[in-house]
Structure 1
């Protein structure tokens, strides 16, 4: 029988919580999984390594996008399948793969679904599954992480976004596949593996996590009026037509900024930097998805 591991963020919960996850696995015949709970997602890679040393062949990750990102960083290239039980605020990666926020359904997919081989991105030495960004989005995430996200959920991002609109743009140079692609004012730079944002909005309309490419987008929107126009375009699925947005696809990206700005990956704040180097790692991770995918 497949050796199963569970790596869980103890501070996240859906349904009946981790006790329901245990009982659901037991009813499915998984009576003695390698079980590990962490207080914060940053401890997940070490626990994933322990699970692999214990012979895990299928790793269930319980938590949000940050927990999944930390686990993907450890699992990429290891030949072990990832199953996701979405228990976070946004769950963008799970949602993009059709994995519902239901313990019973997620476990069933994890045990009986189809394996799908997906790309991951790698930026400044750390892998991500969904999206990395510098500027507006990272500042918004950093502020939401200061206790608001736990209390307000997705509403925390709306609140912090309204505050972050006052930040001044920076100057950026972006090289794509070794050649200059963009030089000028920027308020946000995104590198995406999938296209989805909160509430079903698509930052990258044609993104696929298995095409061997990353999406690159830069916006020069400045102030409430220009951002409102940009968001409106995104809501109707025509972000690329915004006068404040440029997009392309790439295998590798180099970003140089004129000052240090906040950056993030998969919803996790990472501090400030002036330089970002990103590349795609094609087919680096195997994820258990619904059979219909």
Structure 2
């Protein structure tokens, strides 16, 4: 008999809310799932641990990318199975995996979908599944989190991105697989484990979350006009044509900044740091995905 757990961020919602989730699980044969509600994503790890200790076979995670990241950081490397209930603003992991913002469909995927082993990566020891970013990317998210995101949704990112376009670049040294890849001023460094890291825009074309590699993009644009040109090439899928972007792939990345720099993991801002060490952990998490999943991680040849 499958044991189902729900770890829910109570301030996040979609569909008809947690009441609908209870009804859908009841109708599916799970009238009394293990149930944990939190008011902040930092409370998720303890709930995830309790769910595993109680014998949960599948942990449904209700919330945004930050909630999911906290849970995955806790259970990565274990036998835990994660099912996504995308109740956040961007829901980047769910979007990349094809999990819809429909409670009944998402529950069905969690109960009957394919169990897919995916890579995670750690940044200074903390797991993420979608992206890590430093510089403008993190500043944009930090400002959006300061009340704007709850009021304006995705539009908050556009506003804060424009406001931070003139952010001062910082000198940095970036190593990939132990070799120097870049040295000089940067305004944004982005590491991705999936294609879509900006809601509908495939920044890292060809990226797959189960290939043991990460994509890295370094942006050196300084002025507003240079940023507009850079964003234009990204939206058109021509990142490699931008004179202000350099890219690479690898399983180990090290960044050293001249001064403490804010960074983010899966949309959650972390304290400033002068060093970021990022490492891939191949197929270290199991996530429920739709069947068939031809669009999940790229079609097989």
TM-score computed with the length of structure 1 as normaliser: 0.99
- How far is the alpha carbon of 1:199 from its aligned partner? 3.7
Kindly indicate whether the alpha-carbon contact (under 8 Å) linking 2:8 and 2:62 is maintained by their aligned counterparts in 1.
yes
TM-superposed deviation, 1:213: 0.7
Find the counterpart in structure 2 of residue 77 from structure 1. Answer: 77
Q: Which runs of 5+ in 2 are unaligned?
A: 294-301
Cα distance, 1:166 vs structure 2: 1.6
Aligned partner of 1:37 in structure 2 is 37
Q: Distance in 2 between matches of 1:89 and 1:223?
A: 28
Structure 1 residue matching 2:173: 3-state secondary structure: strand
> For the residues of structure 2 that align with 1:260 and 1:223, how far apart are their CA atoms?
22
Residue 68, structure 1, aligned to residue 68, structure 2: yes
State the partner residue of 1:163.
163
SS of residue matched to 1:147: helix
Tell me the secondary structure at the aligned position of residue 111 of structure 2: helix
Paired residue total: 293
Q: CA deviation at 1:200?
A: 1.0
Corresponding residue SS for 2:66: helix
Distance 1:251 1:92 in 2: 21
Question: Quick one: distance in 2 between partners of 1:172 and 1:56?
Answer: 44
Match of 2:206 in 1: 206
Deviation track 1:160-202 (CA, whole Å, cap 9, x = no partner) reads 0111112111111001111111111100011111121334112
**1:104 maps onto 2:113 in alignment:** no
Q: Gapped runs of 5+ residues in structure 1? A: none
Instruction: Give the 4+ runs in structure 1 shifted more than 6 A.
Output: none
Q: Distance in 1 between matches of 2:242 and 2:43?
A: 40
1:87-126 CA-partner distances (Å, limit 9, x unpaired) = 0000000000000011011001111100111000100110
Matches within 5 A, 1:1-293: 1-293=1-293
Q: Is the 8 A contact 2:8 2:36 kept in 1?
A: yes
Cα RMSD after superposing both structures: 0.8
Structure-2-length-normalised TM-score: 0.96
Work out the CA distance in 2 between the residues paired with 1:134 and 1:292: 35
Mapped to 2, the partners of 1:207 and 1:216 lie a distance apart of 10
Task: Tell me the distance in 2 between the aligned counterparts of 1:191 and 1:162.
Answer: 21
- What whole-Å deviation, never above 9, does each CA across 1:243-280 have from its counterpart, x for those lacking one? 11111111111100111111001001112111100000
Q: Partners of 1:174 and 1:197 in 2: how far apart?
A: 20
Q: Note the alpha carbon deviations across 1:202-255, whole angstroms, 9 max, x for none.
A: 221111000001111101011210110111001111112211111111111110
Secondary structure at the aligned position of 2:146 is classed as coil
Aligned equivalents of 1:241, 1:22: Cα separation in 2: 49
